[in-house]
Structure 1
């Protein structure tokens, strides 16, 4: 057999098997995160198998598995999981699509009884739903509220173009969310019929990845799942496919709430899933094709006056058995033709001339480097990364050979690829058959949108154009022209309590280094200093607010923005510089071998940020285009109102506008950026990850110790921008859908401390648990209520405590009353001891994994530096958590949720009279 035709073997690190009843399992031991496991139960059925009277019931069934199973009646399942530290909707979750329904459950593994319960939950989900008729009735409202959240301009336009996009196939007739008429009226027996037909072991798999004993888990699966039964009269699972007829389709859809005009072209072809080495080769070729093509569109978008707001093309999976070359343009107002032609012209250029040899060699080199970086991280990869691969393997047969095999395949395949391989893709998708064109836009622009004849005419005119060859402007060169004169480390302090080291440099800069082995080949670096745009007047605010963005999009050193992206391609380097309201800094990551390059970038941001007037003109053009129809969106108007009211109508919190755009001064922006990055003595640099301190010290002395310093040590200025005192209610009337959104915000002065912050988190969590129980489970009025506590020390100690949810307009007043009633109960009686313990379990379990994660420590050290807190506070976690009681949470509720400062902002449909 030809090696390219043989099936790629499954990752040998996975234990797999199939029981006599057809139930499949995949088990892999992976110790990152330690003492944790992820279970996935995959069902090879989704909405496509529904009968006409079951539309929406695959998804409804997913909900019902959380509302009563054999061993966990009613809401006992969620209740039990919360007690062992798992959050509903965050950790425990599920989804339903056309072809599959998948349940996910992460659990701790250090208690055998919890692990055993996890397997029992999976067994119950596989074939133990009770489908109690009373629970079904209560869940109707919840599912309809989930459906309501998706309603709006996008959904209304989809209803017009989906029949075209899905070629009147089964996909267009079976959207997973279903039909209101059926969700409101189906009989419990109809749901039961769906469940017993399709939840069966020969369509199911259990995926278990984590810190477990593989043999023990395999034995437990064999014992627990062997008695699952397939129906006596099995329904055949029809494999629904798209049939390509060769026809072209065109559709236009407009909506009064749409904020931009878009043209999408899809050229469909049969998909070729990755199953053997030949498929894997084709997969890599497509990756290279997409990478090089996206670079060309990025260059096009970097012009002084871009021809579109967004334009690009990508080859990827469409649905089911179909791939598509998807070209998209978001047009500048009144410039659909110009935008469309710009996108199409690049495809035509590619068809005529292909990619250049230099583009291709760089793309191959970058791909090999990226693959090598992934390979180097294989021993500390997170369990989630593996679960997704095995899920695809079971559901679609996509190969999952494991990173070692993929690494060796890539090294063998990439060097032998030729330009012809990628150029063939362009010709394969150049045909005019099986092409869908979809145009969407604001209602007022309807008369200006092109018809099919116009689009075809534009395509023909591009074919007749004299298009020049693409010229690759990228040349590899060093980031720095001259080497900096190093500073010195003048003081070193061991921070033994957190296994870190603090360095003070001769220019006053501070560096905190925490080497870890949590994630191989990965270092997170941050820089932070107080100040930000607060140090500049309202008149200069707009210039200050975009300063970091303009510097970033100008490029760095001798590289333009595009060429800097090309220079960094193939590395793991990611960096973002920011200038926020009250601070400025850099957030970045790199592998150990790339750390010097990253620190060179830091050096340039401080000493020679690039100034590109084209970036400024482009930003103005893009922003102006996006403002034209921005207010069409009800959501924009709602969140703009929240921002303005919460910011007491400060000019810095009111919506963007042409007037504000005209206040921008590029020279001023650049000067502001230079000023805020001129005092290294004000900055703390934090390093967390896979490095040796002694090897990093010389790099810190050279690139950070050489930075300029003024020793002014500026602090952020308190501008007094905070939610106003008192009770305020604002109703925003916008939108034509019967949907409402509610935002309740309590605010005021705050005692900022590690202990108080943890207790505020507790108050938010216990209230969220109650709101889920009451607004969702008892009243069936919402899908997902959110509770959030935000607190800050800079520029002054303040808090904002938010409750938010979406619902039917008719239920707004009732649900607000219920939410505030729960707040009052919290003040009168405090939370139940059970809910307090749920918070402690969840927080404690989360904290265990955070202590072994680079991103937690990076964020913690960064925040601590900005807030000048106690760096050892994290060691008090268990002591502080222990002290949290129902009584202490009750005191917090009375102190911070008095209701004296309460802002209620409600989005209602424009024609609604449900609330006065």
Structure 2
């Protein structure tokens, strides 16, 4: 259960122009003359015929669509067109509180029966079933299986109970007060929240939004009377402000019947309150704010120009959105090119247009500067924008952007029968709340193909000028408090903006004609081929020793995922060059490949569905990437070049080192980063390799050492295993594998990783870190020890984790009301030596730290003494089976499953082995696991306390 409060200007997000993703009707609009253009431009876009939209007599809207990805699953949403903006002055925070109460008791599901029922059906609280509240809407999400008819039918009763039958038990209200205050502590008591609170008056222009932040006020949350929240629910949770969205693998006729059966009896109040649509009024000038905070680690500049947004409803709206997407792509390309210069003054930069909030859009320029280089970074990113204003774009830039956009929409079109139900649900939510059109992917694809040619340079040059208005503009600088005296004042900031265009010359688009690969290698052959009919896996051994695992799948039409690895990694780097080795792959990837710099490579690959990179971790060197089937040969060429022609670029080296230094400069100011650095150091027994790379500035790193180490790690492919999963055709794939992977160098070194002795320290350890100015603590409890690695043992650990999670969530949240979202995680490995860890983590009030730690340990002790309940065992088994059913329909899961199996030298025989292993999990086995894995002397307590607490 979350508060959704996103202002993309603060974290710039650019979406592709795709509205809906599918339709059965193919349509296109061509503007051929002025009269036709006027008529066609104003016509409403069609509605995808694959979705059924209806309305009940009480005004409730419903959307129903059959979709089989994932199979035997459905995603149901209850959308309430009400958020915090509808609160009265004595109800601040109660829209969000209402959302919480929907899970704390309804007419048909008293107290916590709803969560218990869903968990027994394999639906996880938080991870699956969830809800969110924003300014304008509240959304309840319920993913569930459709092959259990009783659960599926009852799910519509659950939605209806949320919609109009919440009971608001007074004891439950009082318990939930503490949980919501802990949510505010967990999410809000940090530097990001403090900075946001200073920026909001400008961003929201002192509008109604500024007075109705979804979290509300602590005073009201602590003291409101139950009748106040009941009145909010009575006023606003009504059918004519609600929609039910159902997408999944089901019978639409049955779903429509269930919606009518469960929702038709809900009634609107006799005296309805008006639902006001609030906006953010424009300002007539530029407003400036410089914000500092003692825990701020970076220095950022943002210039935000607000514009009135328009939902995409007509053909002209769609065409304009395409133009804006092209603009974003071209500006993004220029910023990326700028970042590749030698030692740029920035860490991150972006320019583009996107949604801001409500009905407002924004054109935003943002840059995170290196320490002491705010002026240079600001002036340079403003200059990129001004260069486009003064001189416009080039035809070659526009052509690349069009190719990229067309490639994006074509990929979506090819996957139209493989898209996840969540994509459709999101479209229908936007249609209900904002009226955004849902024409479907066929219409959009054909529309773009037909009309992309009519968007020209002149239009985009005019667009960039129009977006850069000087009124309704906000300028914000965020910086560490310690740098306050060095920051510009308002006149200086405005002078940087006003003089950004001085001395600018037109952009030169250096066209790349160099081929990716000058000479095709001779390649090798398959020397051994084995097929496993149980898993559908084909295993190839090439003449150079390279092993290739092929797994064709039907899950995506246009996706192939690639991962190749061998043992070795930085474990082979002597201490004298370890810092160089740790950044070797990052440096080489930033250098480009073969004859092409990184910028040139980006242009060569622009608009193509392919991406490949290399990596070096502690125990492995690897390559990973993805491509469409049409670009598989390009992916193979990139892999070949990463092995045989890695590039050494001094500019890339300088940039890598300077960016690392800049990112580490103020790290010690942030409590969370200090805490996590301490956790990592202690868990690795203060081994220098686990502290040095993260906490120093790489001053002793050498470009030559890094390059030579990279070359050594990729000099021998004979021990590499490559896993390819997706839309593979063996007859087409094997010749490409032979040609490129078969040509990789082979020294037959037969090496492995080196065990450097990193171990979690034994015994009982308590590490308290005093850092931070907020009344907030963080706790991590880590159990660890030696381990006998096996699939059976791994399954027992997973079961133990889930049962501990049930216990900790119930105890710390539901009973103690002391935390918001505790988490339990496990890790287990046999590389370099078998070991495990179980970690319990939570945020809380400093005064509650000891009590909640003791409560957690008490739950562990109880589990060891009495074992889990039959209900807990059932919840784990059904959730695990449901999760596995979902995973095995994913290319991503298969590529990493196969990689891990081969890495552990446990070649898979059957894909459903993990489900079969569920039979080994019993009440007794979980109790035994609890005794074995939490019963020893190894327990580390990490505690983050504010500086003010002794």
Q: TM-score range by the shorter chain?
A: over 0.9
- Pick from 286, 291, 296 the counterpart of residue 334 of structure 2: 296
Cα deviation for residue 612 of structure 1 reads 0.9
Aligned pairs for 1:307-386 (under 5 A) are: 307-386=345-424
How far apart, CA to CA, are the structure 1 residues paired with 2:883 and 2:195?
Answer: 41
Cα deviation for residue 658 of structure 1 reads 7.5
Cα deviation for residue 655 of structure 1 reads 5.6
Matched, 1:895 2:932: yes
Matched, 1:223 2:261: yes
* Contact 2:685/2:759 (<8 A) preserved: yes
Matched, 1:274 2:307: no
Matched, 1:514 2:551: yes
- The aligned residue for residue 208 of structure 1 is 246
Q: Please list the CA deviations of residues 5-50 of structure 1 after superposition, one character each: whole Å capped at 9, or x if unmatched.
A: 1111221100110111110000000011110000011010111111
How far apart, CA to CA, are the structure 1 residues paired with 2:664 and 2:417?
Answer: 47
Choose 630-639 or 852-861, whichever is displaced more: 852-861
- The aligned residue for residue 579 of structure 1 is 616
Matched, 1:557 2:591: no
Matched, 1:777 2:814: yes
- The aligned residue for residue 235 of structure 1 is 273
SS at match of 1:907: strand
- Pick from 664, 683, 688 the counterpart of residue 651 of structure 1: 688
* Contact 1:534/1:716 (<8 A) preserved: yes
Cα deviation for residue 245 of structure 1 reads 3.1
SS at match of 1:323: strand
- The aligned residue for residue 220 of structure 2 is 182
* Contact 1:643/1:653 (<8 A) preserved: yes
User: Measured at CA, do residues 658 and 686 of structure 1 come closer, stay the same or move farther in structure 2, by a change above 3 Å?
Assistant: closer
* Contact 2:660/2:697 (<8 A) preserved: no
* Contact 2:104/2:112 (<8 A) preserved: yes
- The aligned residue for residue 581 of structure 2 is 544
User: Measured at CA, do residues 319 and 651 of structure 1 come closer, stay the same or move farther in structure 2, by a change above 3 Å?
Assistant: same
Cα deviation for residue 836 of structure 1 reads 1.0
Cα deviation for residue 660 of structure 1 reads 4.8
SS at match of 1:374: helix
* Contact 2:326/2:402 (<8 A) preserved: yes
- The aligned residue for residue 438 of structure 1 is 476
Matched, 1:676 2:713: yes
Aligned pairs for 1:761-910 (under 5 A) are: 761-872=798-909, 874-910=911-947
Matched, 1:120 2:166: no
How far apart, CA to CA, are the structure 2 residues paired with 1:549 and 1:226?
Answer: 59
Matched, 1:286 2:329: no
* Contact 1:373/1:521 (<8 A) preserved: yes
SS at match of 1:624: helix
Matched, 1:603 2:671: no
How far apart, CA to CA, are the structure 2 residues paired with 1:374 and 1:309?
Answer: 32
Cα deviation for residue 657 of structure 1 reads 6.7
* Contact 2:534/2:911 (<8 A) preserved: no
- The aligned residue for residue 30 of structure 2 is none
RMSD (CA atoms): 1.3
Q: Please list the CA deviations of residues 199-222 of structure 1 after superposition, one character each: whole Å capped at 9, or x if unmatched.
A: 110010011000010111111111
- The aligned residue for residue 13 of structure 1 is 50
- The aligned residue for residue 757 of structure 1 is 794
- The aligned residue for residue 567 of structure 1 is 604
SS at match of 1:386: helix
How far apart, CA to CA, are the structure 1 residues paired with 2:350 and 2:484?
Answer: 24
- The aligned residue for residue 744 of structure 2 is 707
Cα deviation for residue 478 of structure 1 reads 2.5
How far apart, CA to CA, are the structure 1 residues paired with 2:461 and 2:690?
Answer: 49
Choose 328-337 or 24-33, whichever is displaced more: 328-337
Cα deviation for residue 459 of structure 1 reads 2.2
* Contact 1:754/1:873 (<8 A) preserved: no
Matched, 1:171 2:209: yes
How far apart, CA to CA, are the structure 2 residues paired with 1:505 and 1:260?
Answer: 49
Q: Which runs of 4+ in 1 moved over 6 A?
A: none
State how many pairs are aligned.
912
Cα deviation for residue 558 of structure 1 reads 2.6
SS at match of 2:541: strand
* Contact 1:251/1:437 (<8 A) preserved: yes
* Contact 2:766/2:941 (<8 A) preserved: yes
Cα deviation for residue 742 of structure 1 reads 0.3
Matched, 1:144 2:173: no
Q: Gaps spanning 5+ residues in structure 1: where?
A: none
How far apart, CA to CA, are the structure 1 residues paired with 2:279 and 2:127?
Answer: 33
- The aligned residue for residue 762 of structure 2 is 725
Cα deviation for residue 302 of structure 1 reads 1.2
SS at match of 2:200: helix
SS at match of 1:729: strand
Cα deviation for residue 455 of structure 1 reads 1.1
Cα deviation for residue 659 of structure 1 reads 4.8
Choose 422-431 or 773-782, whichever is displaced more: 422-431
How far apart, CA to CA, are the structure 1 residues paired with 2:360 and 2:646?
Answer: 46
How far apart, CA to CA, are the structure 2 residues paired with 1:541 and 1:656?
Answer: 8
* Contact 1:640/1:655 (<8 A) preserved: no
* Contact 1:727/1:899 (<8 A) preserved: no
Cα deviation for residue 271 of structure 1 reads 0.9
Choose 561-570 or 897-906, whichever is displaced more: 561-570
Choose 438-447 or 554-563, whichever is displaced more: 554-563
- The aligned residue for residue 695 of structure 1 is 732
- The aligned residue for residue 63 of structure 1 is 100
SS at match of 1:458: helix
Cα deviation for residue 562 of structure 1 reads 2.1
How far apart, CA to CA, are the structure 1 residues paired with 2:605 and 2:59?
Answer: 48
Choose 25-34 or 530-539, whichever is displaced more: 530-539
* Contact 2:784/2:938 (<8 A) preserved: yes
Q: Please list the CA deviations of residues 541-566 of structure 1 after superposition, one character each: whole Å capped at 9, or x if unmatched.
A: 21111111111111122322123223
- The aligned residue for residue 405 of structure 1 is 443
How far apart, CA to CA, are the structure 2 residues paired with 1:401 and 1:97?
Answer: 26
How far apart, CA to CA, are the structure 2 residues paired with 1:840 and 1:210?
Answer: 23
Cα deviation for residue 665 of structure 1 reads 1.1
Cα deviation for residue 782 of structure 1 reads 0.5
- The aligned residue for residue 12 of structure 2 is none
- Pick from 643, 656, 662 the counterpart of residue 699 of structure 2: 662
Q: Please list the CA deviations of residues 558-580 of structure 1 after superposition, one character each: whole Å capped at 9, or x if unmatched.
A: 32212322332322223232100
- Pick from 275, 278, 282 the counterpart of residue 244 of structure 1: 282
How far apart, CA to CA, are the structure 2 residues paired with 1:860 and 1:542?
Answer: 31
How far apart, CA to CA, are the structure 1 residues paired with 2:682 and 2:675?
Answer: 11
- The aligned residue for residue 531 of structure 1 is 568
SS at match of 1:428: helix
SS at match of 1:380: coil
Aligned pairs for 1:44-63 (under 5 A) are: 44-63=81-100
How far apart, CA to CA, are the structure 1 residues paired with 2:517 and 2:416?
Answer: 33
How far apart, CA to CA, are the structure 2 residues paired with 1:268 and 1:439?
Answer: 17
SS at match of 2:881: helix
Cα deviation for residue 539 of structure 1 reads 2.5
Cα deviation for residue 241 of structure 1 reads 0.8
* Contact 2:612/2:639 (<8 A) preserved: no
How far apart, CA to CA, are the structure 2 residues paired with 1:775 and 1:899?
Answer: 23
- Pick from 214, 227, 232 the counterpart of residue 194 of structure 1: 232
Cα deviation for residue 822 of structure 1 reads 0.8
